[in-house]
C-alpha cells in the first residue's frame, strides 16, 4: 500500500491518519488536515486501504482494513518511533482503527482521534457500530459536527459518556460530517478547520 509521511522539523508527536470510505489519502481535505497538524508540531502518516489503492469503490472487509491499520502503525513506528504516537482518521478510517485497537492494542499507540466517527449510516440511526469502543482502553477524542448525519447527537453523546474518562467529545457547531458549515452559521470552513485542528493538537499535547 502507499503512504505519505509529513514530518515537520520540530515534530512533538505523530498521527497515523486513515482516509474515509470515499476519498483516498491525497484528497484535498486529507492534505489540509495533515498540513495543519504539521504546523502544530504533529507529524502524519497518511496511507491507502487496499480497495482505494486498486481504484475500487467497495471498502475492504474489516479484517483486511484492520490488518492495513496495523501495517501503517508499524511503519509509523519505524519512522517516528521516538515520538508519542496516535492513530485514527476520517470516518471509515477512524472506525477501522478503533476496531483494530479493540481487537488487540496497536503497538505504541497512546490514543485515538476520530475526525467524524461514523456512528451509523445516514438516515439509519443506531449505536451498534460503537459497541467495540468499550474494548478500547486508550484515550479517545471524538471531533464531531453538530449537523453530522452519520452521528446523531442524541445517540453519540450517551455513547461517549458511557466510555467514561477515557473519551472526550468536542462538538463543532453547525458542521456536517466533513466539517462544512452553512453560510448562515456565520463561519466559514477555514475557521471551522482551525477549531478542529486546535482541539486536536491540544488534546494530543495533553496525552503526550
Which pLDDT value is given to residue 59?
95
Per-residue pLDDT tens over the stretch 115-160: 999 999 999 999 999 999 999 999 999 999 999 999 999 999 999 9
3-state secondary structure of 141: strand
Q: What's the number of CA atoms in the CB half-sphere (13 Å) around residue 183?
A: 0
Architecture of the CATH domain 3-206: 3-Layer(aba) Sandwich (3.40)
What confidence category does residue 103 fall into, taking pLDDT thresholds of 50, 70 and 90? very high
Helix (H) or strand (E) run with residue 109 in it:
strand 109-115
Give pLDDT tens digits for 60-96.
999 999 999 999 999 999 999 999 999 999 999 999 9
In this prediction, residue 183 carries a pLDDT of 85
Length of the chain: 208
**H-run or E-run covering 142:** strand 140-145
Domain spans in the chain, listed from the N-terminal domain onward: 3-206
Q: What is the pLDDT of residues 2-13, one digit of tens each?
A: 999 999 999 999
Whole-angstrom Cα distance, residue 24 to residue 182?
25
Supply the pLDDT for residue 113: 98
Amino acid at each position: 500500500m502507499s503512504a505519505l509521511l509529513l514530518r515537520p522539523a520540530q515534530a512533538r508527536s505523530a498521527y497515523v491518519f486513515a482516509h474515509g470510505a470515499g476519498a483516498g489519502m491525497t484528497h484535498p481535505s486529507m492534505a489540509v488536515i495533515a498540513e495543519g497538524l504539521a504546523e502544530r508540531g504533529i507529524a502524519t502518516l497518511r496511507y491507502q486501504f487496499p480497495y482505494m489503492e486498486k481504484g475500487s469503490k467497495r471498502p475492504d472487509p474489516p479484517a483486511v482494513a484492520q490488518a492495513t491499520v496495523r501495517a501503517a502503525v508499524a511503519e509509523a513506528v519505524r519512522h517516528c518511533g521516538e515520538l508519542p504516537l496516535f492513530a485514527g482518521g476520517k470516518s471509515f478510517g477512524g472506525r477501522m482503527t478503533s476496531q483494530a485497537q479493540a481487537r488487540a492494542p496497536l503497538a505504541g499507540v497512546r490514543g485515538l482521534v476520530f475526525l467524524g466517527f461514523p456512528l451509523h449510516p445516514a438516515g439509519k440511526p443506531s449505536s451498534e457500530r460503537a459497541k467495540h469502543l468499550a474494548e478500547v482502553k486508550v484515550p479517545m477524542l471524538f471531533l464531531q459536527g453538530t449537523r453530522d448525519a452519520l452521528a446523531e447527537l442524541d445517540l453519540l453523546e450517551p455513547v461517549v459518556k458511557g466510555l467514561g474518562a477515557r473519551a472526550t467529545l468536542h462538538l463543532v457547531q453547525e458542521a456536517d460530517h466533513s466539517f462544512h458549515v452553512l453560510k448562515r452559521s456565520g463561519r466559514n470552513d477555514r475557521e471551522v478547520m482551525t477549531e478542529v485542528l486546535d482541539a486536536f493538537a491540544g488534546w494530543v499535547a495533553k496525552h503526550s
